[in-house]
């Protein structure tokens, strides 16, 4: 298919994927986000009480630009749909480059490209830097966290490109199946090295100063000057469930993108072309 046909269909498929992911997040993840916001507010009150007892003036709070309803419903929805469209356009580029180099049915190729996108742009970075709800993370580390996450994404993409090139290089000598296994193993090794080399968020300076050395930014119990716990740490069940729902929403987004685009692509291929592609698979 020419690019002028691939691009609008991929954008449409990405938008539909964003809608499905939004509805899932609205039903399952949004209550956890509200629970995290409530925790953050209550912890802030406890910290303010400790500061007042120590004679420290409380910081000024900024105005609320958008209401919680707007943020939790339409804000998430708009963000996910726009993200789906953007990912669909990226998908279109990769699909266009790949369709002339592999002998696969459009539906199979679409699912492979979507799976590769999910793996490199979300799943692998998620292993090192999983999604966090509000209240998990310091304002001082936003820049560092963004930079490290970007490095993880770029490194994951580079690892996949290297793995594909190596698999193509050894395909004639080892056969397609063994070449795929070699490429897959190489990707796991390269991504694993990247995960091992990059610092954990708990190792960032702002977190070490507040909580001591740790692996995450998850808030620990708040203590008074005597060391007594005056407010509990963040609920691990909320954190675990949020991360499960976050990655599930991405699976839905990429899955719908691949399935919908694959179905649209199949319809654009003539019966004779489909027959030739089926014979070559």
Domain ranges (residues) in the chain: 3-136+224-280, 138-217
Token pair of 102 as six digits: 């592999």
pLDDT, one tens digit per residue, over 167-179 is 999 999 999 899 9
CB atoms inside a 10 Å sphere around CB 218 = 19
Give per-residue burial for 262-281: e unless 16+ CB within 10 Å, then b.
bebbeeebeeeeeeebeeee
pLDDT, one tens digit per residue, over 183-224 is 999 999 999 999 999 998 888 887 777 767 777 788 889 988
pLDDT, one tens digit per residue, over 41-91 is 999 899 888 888 877 876 666 566 666 667 767 888 899 999 999 999 999
DSSP state of 141: G
The DSSP string of 58-82 is: PPPPPP-SS-HHIIIIIIHHHHHHH
Terminal C-alpha separation, the chain = 18
pLDDT, one tens digit per residue, over 4-37 is 889 999 999 999 999 999 999 999 999 999 999 9
Residue 280: pLDDT band with limits 50, 70, 90: very low
Token pair of 30 as six digits: 């949004």
Q: Is 223 helix (H, G, I), strand (E, B) or coil?
A: strand
């Amino acid at each position: 298919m020419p690019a002028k046909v691939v691009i609008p269909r991929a954008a449409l498929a990405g938008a539909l994927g964003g809608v499905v992911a939004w509805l899932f997040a609205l039903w399952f993840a949004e209550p956890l986000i509200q629970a995290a916001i409530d925790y953050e507010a209550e912890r802030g009150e406890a910290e303010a009480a400790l500061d007042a007892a120590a004679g420290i003036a409380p910081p000024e709070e900024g105005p609320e630009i958008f209401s919680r309803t707007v943020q939790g419903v339409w804000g998430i929805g708009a963000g996910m749909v726009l993200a789906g469209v953007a990912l669909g356009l990226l998908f279109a580029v990769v699909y266009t480059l790949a369709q002339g180099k592999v002998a696969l049915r459009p539906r199979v190729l679409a699912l492979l490209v979507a799976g590769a996108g999910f793996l490199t742009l979300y799943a692998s970075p998620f292993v090192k830097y999983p999604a966090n709800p509000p209240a998990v993370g310091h304002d001082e580390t936003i820049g560092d966290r963004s930079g490290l996450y970007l490095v993880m994404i770029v490194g994951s993409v580079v690892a996949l490109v290297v793995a594909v090139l190596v698999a193509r290089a050894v395909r004639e000598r080892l056969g397609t199946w063994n070449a795929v296994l070699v490429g897959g193993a190489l990707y796991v090794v390269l991504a694993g090295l990247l995960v091992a080399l990059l610092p954990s968020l708990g190792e960032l300076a702002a977190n070490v100063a507040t909580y001591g050395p740790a692996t995450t930014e998850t808030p620990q119990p708040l203590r008074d000057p005597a060391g007594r716990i005056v407010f509990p740490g963040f609920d691990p069940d909320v954190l675990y469930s949020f991360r499960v729902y976050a990655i599930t929403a991405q699976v839905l987004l990429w899955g719908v993108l691949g399935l919908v685009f694959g179905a649209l692509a199949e319809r654009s291929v003539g019966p004779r072309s489909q027959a030739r592609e089926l014979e070559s698979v």
